[in-house]
């Protein structure tokens, strides 16, 4: 095992999948010579050449639309959208085409592709380099939506995504790219993390925090902080947002009887609403308190100026406060 960053884990996953399967290729803006604006594809252009690490035109629907065509032909595209905020030109291709191709052709045509996109705020990126867009896609059968929170999962889940016969949206917490480090098997090129199951990442008795991506990282810190005060928090890393792992969610609520859901995307209609509804519908009899959501405020996006960005963003202190409130209920 060696300790690496999130972005290095992602780079390694692509490197190993490119080496494993000649049908795999990467396409996106600046992924080639530049190695990606976050360096997620650094060195891949030199190693695999311009046919397998393709600098696309500055046009996101091109990246995804071309990916879909290549996928139905039999290739395994990894499409990079430079920032999740820029995914919307490709929305039609993702929703109308990638998600529905298998169903609408009664299983004749499948779209084995990955769409990677860095998401999330707290990096001074303002409205259009900070958004969390997952909820636009977690309502769409035919897609899988994955958000890793640590290098081990990032590498293992991305490798699973590349091998998955369906379109997978893979959102990467960009603030954690270099901030979050973790152990990843060095020599085991075959290790993967399955798409689907959530994971209990911290056992506890008093309440459960459900989170993913950067917010999971913060939730673990908050859980440690309140542990000193005697609050025993369970943390569940949702990891795969769609399809939903209802069993893990409900099992944890059965154990702790209280649920707090944390995400940095806007509150209303956000992914937390689905988790809350899942608990309300199938876990109601286990609840000792109302389900709580801690999420980004309902303003259009994250503002640029630092004090305003701080106001918007969820941080470990805000999570700890929400935990204290819920524990006291």
The size of the interface with other proteins (CB under 8 A), counted in residues, is 48
**Is 103 a residue that touches other proteins (CB under 8 A)?**
yes
Asked if 283 interacts with other proteins (CB under 8 A), we say: no
Q: Nearest to residue 141, comparing CAs of 243, 238, 275?
A: 243
Q: Phi first, then psi: what are they for 51, rounded to 5°?
A: -80, -20
**Minimal distance, residue 89 CB to other proteins, in Å:** 8
* Binding to other proteins in span 131-150, by CB under 8 A: 141-142, 144
- Beta carbon nearer to other proteins, 58 or 299: 58
**Residue 22, number of CB atoms within 10 A of its CB:** 11
The distance of closest approach from Cβ of residue 12 to other proteins in the complex, given in angstroms and rounded to an integer, is 23
- Distance in Å, CB of 252 to other proteins, minimum: 17
Residue 217 annotated as catalytic: no
- Location of structure tokens 């991305």: 158
CB of 101 to other proteins, least distance (A): 6
The C-alpha angle 233, 235, 238, rounded to 5 degrees, equals 160
Q: Provide the terminal-to-terminal Cα distance of the chain, rounded to the nearest Å.
A: 42
Does residue number 165 form part of the binding site for other proteins (CB under 8 A)? yes
Query: In Å, how far are 174, 206, 210, 231, 314 from 289, measured between CA atoms?
Result: 33, 11, 15, 15, 22
Between 27 and 56, how does the x/- string for binding to other proteins read (CB under 8 A)? ------------------------xx---x
β-strands 181-184, 207-211 pairing: unpaired
Q: Examine residue 268 and tell whether it contacts other proteins (CB under 8 A).
A: no
Query: Per rule CB under 8 A, is residue 96 in the interface with other proteins?
Result: yes
181 burial level (CB within 10 Å; 0-12, 13-18, 19+):
middle
Using CB under 8 A, list all residues that contact other proteins.
25, 51-52, 56-57, 59, 61-62, 64-75, 77, 89, 92-93, 96-97, 100-110, 112, 141-142, 144, 164-166, 196, 243-244, 246
């Amino acid at each position: 095992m060696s300790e690496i960053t999130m972005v290095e884990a992602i780079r390694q996953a692509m490197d190993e999948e490119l080496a494993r399967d000649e049908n795999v290729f990467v396409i996106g803006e600046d992924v080639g010579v530049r190695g990606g604006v976050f360096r997620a594809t650094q060195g891949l252009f030199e190693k695999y050449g311009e046919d397998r690490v393709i600098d696309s035109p500055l046009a996101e629907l091109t990246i995804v639309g071309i990916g879909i065509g290549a996928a139905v032909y039999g290739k395994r595209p990894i499409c990079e959208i430079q920032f999740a905020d820029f995914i919307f030109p490709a929305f039609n291709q993702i929703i109308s085409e990638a998600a529905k191709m298998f169903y609408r052709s009664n299983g004749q045509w499948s779209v084995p592709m990955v769409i990677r996109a860095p998401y999330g705020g707290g990096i001074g990126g303002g409205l259009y380099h900070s958004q969390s867009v997952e909820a636009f896609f977690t309502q769409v059968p035919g897609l899988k939506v994955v958000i890793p929170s640590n290098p081990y999962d990032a590498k293992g889940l991305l490798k699973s995504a590349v091998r998955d016969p369906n379109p997978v949206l893979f959102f990467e917490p960009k603030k954690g790219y270099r901030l979050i480090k973790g152990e990843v098997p060095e020599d085991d090129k075959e290790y993967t993390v399955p798409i689907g199951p959530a994971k209990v990442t911290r056992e506890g008795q008093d309440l459960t925090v459900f989170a993913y991506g950067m917010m999971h990282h913060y939730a673990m810190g908050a859980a440690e902080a309140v542990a000193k005060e005697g609050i025993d928090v369970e943390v569940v890393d949702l990891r795969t947002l769609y399809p939903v792992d209802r069993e893990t969610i409900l099992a944890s609520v059965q154990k702790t009887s209280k649920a707090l859901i944390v995400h940095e995307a806007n509150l209303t209609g956000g992914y937390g609403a689905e988790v809350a509804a899942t608990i309300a519908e199938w876990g109601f009899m286990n609840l000792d308190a109302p389900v709580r959501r801690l999420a980004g405020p309902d303003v259009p996006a994250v503002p640029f100026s630092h004090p305003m960005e701080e106001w918007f963003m969820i941080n470990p202190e805000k999570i700890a406060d929400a935990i204290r409130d819920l524990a006291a209920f």
